[in-house]
Amino acid sequence: MPELPEVETSRRGIEPYLAGHTIVHAIVRNPRLRWPVSQEIMALSDQPVISVQRRAKYLLLELATGWIIIHLGMSGSLRVLREETEAGKHDHVDLVMESGYVLRYTDPRRFGAWLWCEDLDASSVLAHLGPEPLSKDFSADYLFERSRSKKMPVKPWLMDNKIVVGVGNIYASESLFVAGISPERPANSLTHDEIALLVETIKAVLLRSIEQGGTTLRDFLQSDGKPGYFAQELQVYGRAGELCRACGTPILNLKQAQRTTFFCPQCQR
């Protein structure tokens, strides 16, 4: 599943081909995604793109008359291709640019979304989202205050979009390992110092991942569009039974809120 660093990598990859360029029209081969592709997107004609932004895991294309909101779902990806490139079976949406490029959306499982909205503040998908993890609003004081009344384990709590956006399963597991905090600790048992370290770690882990995703940008025009996070060395995620790189203890896994958590029982307390 694309996580925040991959979405940010996609944003950086498509921005030069979209911002300041004009969408001639959209080609929607299959509108049946998680929700139907908005009519306004199917009807687009000659619309300049003002900016390409991101909120949580949503990509936001700012046009003069409104916003295209794109979510990659479980298996979606975006590529910029020459318009003559033939579309494949899972290529559901194209934005055809005046420049001769197309922004092509591929999604085998079709859990993604292409929505239109005139006013971002009124968008139901963006309402109630917590702060961006890389913003100043996501601070030790903020997270400490939010944690005081929460007895639930810290790992699923961190993955709640109302607390902070974009900390998915991989990055929650990895950040708790780096911060040395057990995923099973009740959120309100963490000290201010532990929360401060966790906030710093989440920012560092996400930033490093975005930077590594950035190294795949030169492949962006190629047809495989590989996600950045597979390239990086993960400490605990997906490593159950393998040895902790720090202490040599076997990495354990457990289920929390229907998601698999990976951790080192020695390094994380």
Q: How far is the CB of 182 from Zn ion (least distance, A)?
A: 12
Which phi and psi angles does 145 have, rounded to 5°?
A: -60, -45
| Torsional sign, CA 184, 186, 191, 197 | positive
Q: What is the Cα–Cα distance from 55 to 122, expressed in whole angstroms?
A: 14
* Of the residues 247, 250, 260, 269, which one makes contact with Zn ion according to CB under 5 A: 247
Q: How far is the CB of 243 from Zn ion (least distance, A)?
A: 8
**79 vs 239, which CB is nearer to Zn ion?**
239
Q: Is 57 a catalytic residue?
A: yes
CB under 5 A: which stretch of 28-36, 59-67, 157-165, 239-247 binds Zn ion? Answer: 239-247
CB-closest chain residue to Zn ion: 244
What is the token pair recorded at 154? 């810290």
* Of the residues 41, 97, 244, 252, which one makes contact with Zn ion according to CB under 5 A: 244
What is the token pair recorded at 125? 């998908």
Catalytic residue among 5, 6, 54, 57: 57
Distance of CA 214 to the CA centre of its chain: 14
**119 vs 233, which CB is nearer to Zn ion?**
233
SS3 49: strand
With tokens 């913003």, the residue in question is 135
Most distant CA pair in the chain: distance in Å? 59
What is the token pair recorded at 65? 């008359």
Confirm or reject binding of residue 267 to Zn ion (CB under 5 A): yes
**10 vs 235, which CB is nearer to Zn ion?**
235
**28 vs 251, which CB is nearer to Zn ion?**
251
**165 vs 178, which CB is nearer to Zn ion?**
178
Q: How far is the CB of 245 from Zn ion (least distance, A)?
A: 8
Q: How far is the CB of 150 from Zn ion (least distance, A)?
A: 26
Q: What is the Cα–Cα distance from 101 to 226, expressed in whole angstroms?
A: 19
With tokens 């295209």, the residue in question is 68
CB under 5 A: which stretch of 115-123, 188-196, 226-234, 259-267 binds Zn ion? Answer: 259-267
DSSP character at residue 19: T
Confirm or reject binding of residue 246 to Zn ion (CB under 5 A): yes
What is the token pair recorded at 196? 């401060």
Across the strands, what pairs with 27? 94
CB under 5 A: which stretch of 14-22, 33-41, 151-159, 241-249 binds Zn ion? Answer: 241-249
**101 φψ region: left (φ > 0), alpha (ψ -120 to 50), beta (else):** beta
Q: Is 12 a catalytic residue?
A: no
CB under 5 A: which stretch of 36-44, 106-114, 212-220, 261-269 binds Zn ion? Answer: 261-269
> For residues 228 and 209, is the Cβ–Cβ distance under 8 A?
yes
Residues belonging to the active site: 2-3, 57, 259
Residues contributing to the site for Zn ion (CB under 5 A) = 244, 246-247, 249, 264, 266-267
